[in-house]
């Protein structure tokens, strides 16, 4: 458990507070929608309500993360967001294809909801066209993925943030400053098992100490790619959900925990870990948790 010497940035993302020293603010949880198959908007209404109910119970803030993989899903998905995410709350848009990112940014601007948008994500594969689109249609919040294909160690992730590892013209941190992004989150880029996957966790305190930015990752991706867990099918979902405890244990601020269907497991597990971290850091470093922290909400 950590206390960082670098001043820690605290972001307010449409009322969701993220960042700071460990033990003060609860881990923010990103739950994923529409990653597989055709988006099922009707059943997702119950899933999104369940996320917010769990958030209210535990104190862990939630940001729903919507994957858009086809052009013909753009309008329906964003309309679903407008109708089902509370008007004062943020949401995350997760897109892989650069051309699709540009179209989505334009549509979000048309709907006047860029201020609530968490753009997931910017990485070393960013194109000039995407940069120009971000200059024109600028979201309030961006996730930087510290993925370095040449060096997957924590030092390699720092290199991407600093200078782009010579894969981009400038470092990712300099780029978001150029784009005038208000809030920056750093994702430490979880890799497949055997591909220095542990570095995604080890890099969390390194990046927070170096820069002070709110930091986390999608550590569940490592679990999803762990084929040996097929021999332990009854435990797979529990392992997936509990993997997120590592983020707060190493001083992180947010967990992109994967399928929203895992919410019932993830929220109490992460809340429990947040409680342990907060109890220790208050006793040792004197940091007191905010009133909506799980330790306050669940131990009155």
Residue 5, domain member (yes or no): no
Residue 18, domain member (yes or no): yes
Q: How many domains does the chain have?
A: 1
Q: Residue 98: CB partners within 8 Å, gap ≥ 6? A: 125, 126, 127, 129, 130
**Residue 299: what pLDDT?**
81
CATH classification of the domain holding 292? 3.20.20.20
Residue 62, domain member (yes or no): yes
**Residue 300: what pLDDT?**
65
Taking the C-alpha atoms of residue 236 and residue 45, their distance in angstroms, rounded to an integer, is 26
Residue 3, domain member (yes or no): no
Is-contact 296 276, C-beta < 8 A? no
User: From the first residue on, what is the mean pLDDT of each consecutive set of 10 residues in the chain (300 residues)?
Assistant: 92 98 98 96 98 98 98 97 97 96 97 98 96 98 97 97 94 97 98 93 98 97 92 93 97 97 98 97 96 91
**Residue 1: what pLDDT?**
66
> Which domain range does residue 209 map to?
10-297
**Residue 2: what pLDDT?**
82
Residue 195, domain member (yes or no): yes
What stretches of 70-186 show up as alpha helix (H) in DSSP?
74-84, 98-110, 128-136, 154-163, 172-179
Residue 1, domain member (yes or no): no
Residue 4, domain member (yes or no): no
């Amino acid at each position: 458990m950590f206390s960082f010497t670098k001043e820690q940035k605290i972001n307010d993302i449409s009322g969701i507070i993220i960042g700071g020293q460990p033990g003060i603010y609860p881990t923010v949880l990103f739950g994923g929608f529409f990653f597989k198959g055709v988006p099922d908007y009707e059943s997702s209404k119950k899933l999104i309500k369940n996320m917010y109910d769990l958030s209210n119970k535990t104190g862990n803030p939630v940001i729903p993360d919507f994957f858009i993989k086809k052009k013909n899903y753009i309008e329906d998905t964003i309309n679903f967001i407008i109708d089902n995410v509370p008007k004062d709350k943020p949401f995350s848009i997760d897109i892989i294809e650069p051309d699709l990112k540009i179209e989505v940014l334009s549509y979000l601007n048309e709907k006047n909801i860029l201020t609530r948008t968490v753009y997931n994500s910017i990485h070393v594969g960013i194109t000039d066209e995407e940069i120009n689109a971000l200059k024109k249609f600028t979201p309030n919040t961006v996730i930087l993925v510290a993925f370095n294909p040449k060096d997957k160690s924590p030092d390699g992730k720092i290199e991407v943030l600093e200078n782009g590892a010579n894969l981009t013209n400038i470092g990712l941190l300099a780029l978001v400053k150029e784009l005038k992004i208000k809030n920056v989150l750093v994702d430490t880029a979880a890799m497949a098992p055997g591909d220095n996957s542990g570095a995604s966790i080890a890099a969390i305190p390194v990046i927070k100490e170096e820069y002070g930015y709110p930091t986390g990752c999608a550590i569940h991706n490592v679990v999803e790619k762990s084929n040996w867990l097929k021999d332990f099918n009854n435990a797979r979902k529990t392992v997936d959900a509990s993997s997120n405890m590592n983020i707060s244990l190493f001083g992180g601020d947010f967990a992109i925990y994967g399928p929203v269907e895992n919410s019932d497991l993830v929220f109490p597990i992460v809340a429990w870990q947040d409680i342990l971290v907060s109890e220790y850091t208050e006793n040792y470093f004197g940091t007191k948790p905010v009133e909506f922290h799980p330790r306050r909400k669940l131990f009155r």
